[in-house]
């Protein structure tokens, strides 16, 4: 039996036209639309949809504290902390990588949300630290629920099965929805709801096997998956590394529509859409939706933010 989700945001999110960006990319003015999942609760982003289902499952099991993991600027971790606060739970975030107080990003919000942050230095086993944290919590009388990296399980992916339903109503003539692929759950839910032929994923380098992950999750949702549309040409030097194409895409989106993207996910996804228009994978005259999966706080935890600020001051 499926556990009902909890309520963490307002649905459906808007579907907005982007005529100036469409023309800049080589499409017709009415071709490109933005699914604004950056306007969800907790500073915005796609993880809220997954957390509604994951937190519902955790609460049904009697959880008193949510434990999750991710990189030091994880959007999923930030939203887990916020969801815990809203539901009257505690949260522990086991984050990997080197932190820098001069680039706070998501870390500042996690402090505001009341999360306990456990930093795991590069090269150390994060899963071992999670195991130790859960033992510590149980010994203290807590009931921990461990949420997976990125919220990407069949339970979490149900959030994007719901999003697919929204898109089917908002844009019944949808030809292609373009989405960043990290841990795979967002694309999997869309594929399960819309069909693989209408979903174009852009790999960001978060996992080594994105096609396998998406297929596994979509299959668990009852979909028959064949012929995934997955671009792997925008990863660049790796996960989290800004690419020249991503930086160009960020500037273009901001200067045509006032749309703020970030370097890790949505900047690369927009670069993937740009490349898809250039090579004919996405064509003029057909409805294309760019799923803006959020992540804005992470921009201010990325070195590129300081570079942008320096350029602004240099032009003053």
The full DSSP string for 109-126 is HHHHTTPEEEEE-TTS-H
Give 273: exposed, middle or buried? Use CB within 10 Å, 0-12, 13-18, 19+: buried
Residue of 9, 74, 90, 152 with catalytic role: 74
In the chain, which ranges are continuous DSSP H helix? 19-25, 47-60, 75-86, 106-112, 126-139, 154-170, 185-194, 210-220, 244-257, 266-278, 296-299, 303-314
Residues in contact with 177: Cβ distance below 8 Å, sequence separation at least 6, in sequence order? 35, 167, 190, 194, 198, 199, 200, 288, 289, 290, 291
Find all residues with CB under 8 Å of 301, minimum gap 6, and list them: 72, 73, 100, 103, 104, 105, 106, 107
- For residue 289, list its beta bridge partners: 33, 177
Given a contact cutoff of 8 angstroms between Cβ atoms, the answer to whether 57 and 35 are in contact is no
Annotation marks residue 74 as catalytic? yes
250 alpha carbon, distance to own chain's centre: 16
- The secondary element (H helix, E strand) that includes residue 70 is strand 65-71
Instruction: Catalogue the active-site residues.
Output: 74
């Amino acid at each position: 039996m499926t556990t009902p989700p909890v309520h963490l945001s307002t649905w459906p999110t808007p579907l907005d036209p982007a005529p100036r960006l469409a023309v800049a990319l080589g499409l017709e003015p009415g071709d490109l639309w933005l699914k604004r999942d950056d306007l969800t609760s907790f500073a915005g982003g796609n993880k809220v949809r997954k957390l509604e289902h994951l937190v519902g499952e955790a609460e049904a099991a009697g959880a008193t504290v949510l434990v999750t993991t991710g990189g030091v600027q994880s959007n999923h971790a930030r939203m887990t902390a916020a969801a815990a606060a809203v539901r009257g739970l505690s949260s522990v975030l086991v984050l990997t990588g080197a932190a820098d107080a001069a680039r706070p990003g998501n870390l500042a919000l996690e402090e505001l949300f009341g999360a306990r942050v456990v930093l795991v230095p590069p090269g150390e086993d994060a899963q071992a630290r999670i195991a130790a944290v859960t033992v510590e919590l149980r010994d203290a009388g807590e009931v921990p629920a461990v949420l997976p990296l990125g919220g990407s399980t069949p339970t979490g992916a149900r959030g994007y099965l719901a999003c697919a339903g929204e898109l089917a109503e908002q844009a019944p003539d949808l030809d292609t929805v373009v989405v960043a692929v990290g841990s795979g759950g967002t694309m999997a839910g869309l594929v399960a709801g819309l069909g693989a032929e209408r979903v174009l994923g852009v790999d960001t380098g978060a996992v080594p096997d994105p096609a396998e992950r998406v297929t596994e999750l979509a299959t668990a949702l009852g979909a028959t998956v064949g012929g995934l549309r997955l671009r792997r040409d925008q990863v660049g030097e790796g996960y989290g590394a800004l690419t020249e194409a991503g930086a160009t895409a960020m500037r273009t989106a901001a200067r045509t529509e006032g749309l703020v993207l970030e370097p890790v996910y949505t900047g690369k996804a927009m670069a993937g859409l740009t490349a898809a228009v250039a090579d004919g994978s996405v064509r003029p005259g057909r409805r294309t939706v760019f799923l803006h999966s959020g992540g804005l706080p992470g921009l201010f935890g990325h070195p590129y933010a300081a570079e942008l600020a320096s350029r602004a001051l240099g032009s003053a």
